[in-house]
Structure 1
């Protein structure tokens, strides 16, 4: 084996291993309370999916054509499309044609609505009237910070925040109190 081949072999093997590792990585989302997802969303709408089309150089993006029927948050314009990655490994979300969705997504730098597995998106039929009132209450309390706590004992020294843990129910609202601090409040959920 020549000197050139010997000197290139190890870097080439390392590069191939790095590429395999890069390709094997999957989507991962930070654990967040629904209030955080609602507050971080640029756009919250109700829309029906009417068509889908794969786009991009390697068909790596799905463009869903939608009929938007309600706006809860965001610019006063009608969105006709929503974009996502075509692979769940890249955090892409699959939507079903003919289904109405509650969509809380982000706008990219071009003003296009984008969603991922990390966003708050679900079929409209499972969104009850009470959940819509929760969404409105979430939006009124976006000044409160919600921190995820993975351990049993977490220090919360921020008075304008609430700690969220897996054992807490999702129908709690981190609410701003009169003194400016924030605390969890259990909101009554209305039946449909």
Structure 2
């Protein structure tokens, strides 16, 4: 491995972790965060309360947010009767603060309920672009069997037909809103390969395989 590539890798890993007071999150394309989540939905946050765990250590409780589900994008069979979403009270444990309003929420189902963290795909709904909303509704789920990889040394070529390559590192910095990488979706084409979809609306059958066939 060349010295230039080694330096690039060191730089990549030094900036790749989003760290807030002890909470470190590996970066990910929005589609990767979508596919790793048990549930992804649009929901209205209508209230919150702190739930203390024994009341012994301040800040070690959970925040319970009351929500009203508006639309589900993933986890349709697990959404029944979900009225609350939970997060850790402390940011050092990756807890996240949500105000009242509509959000894109993604997270994991645990024995304690539906949990979200600052490492998940969370965003105020009105901050998402039309393309991002269409990706959530029509495209991301179709690409969950595809692999998204980051290329740091050109030329960049997929190692398998199941792979989409990222050459835009802007997704590493959350403040770089509006970059093209956030607008893209990696989907499976009718020939079985994966590639970046650049169209609008729902992909046609000529563009993708049926999800049930994957």
Task: Report what 2:65 is aligned to.
Answer: 64
> Which portions of structure 1, spanning 4 or more consecutive aligned residues, are displaced by more than 6 angstroms?
none
C-alpha contact 1:134 1:187 (8 A) present in aligned 2: no
Alignment of 1:38-53 (within 5 A): 38-53=34-49
C-alpha contact 1:31 1:148 (8 A) present in aligned 2: no
Task: Report what 1:171 is aligned to.
Answer: 183
Distance in 1 separating the partners of 2:122 and 2:36: 13
Structure 2 gap ranges (5+): 1-19, 171-179, 202-214
Alignment of 1:19-168 (within 5 A): 26-55=22-51, 56-57=53-54, 58=57, 59-60=59-60, 61-74=62-75, 75-96=78-99, 98-108=100-110, 110=111, 112-135=113-136, 136-149=138-151, 151-153=152-154, 156-165=158-167, 166-167=169-170
Q: Number of paired residues? A: 164
Q: 1:155 to 1:31 in 2, by over 3 A?
A: farther
Distance in 2 separating the partners of 1:111 and 1:142: 26
C-alpha contact 2:42 2:103 (8 A) present in aligned 1: yes
Q: 1:52 to 1:76 in 2, by over 3 A?
A: closer
RMSD: 2.5
Task: Report what 1:21 is aligned to.
Answer: none
Q: What TM-score, normalized by structure 1, do the two folds share?
A: 0.74
Structure 1 gap ranges (5+): 1-23
Deviation at 1:161, TM superposition (A): 1.2
Q: Residues 100-141 of structure 1: CA distance to partner in whole angstroms, max 9, x if unpaired?
A: 111111111x26111111111111222344322111211112
Deviation at 1:162, TM superposition (A): 1.3
Q: What TM-score, normalized by structure 2, do the two folds share?
A: 0.67
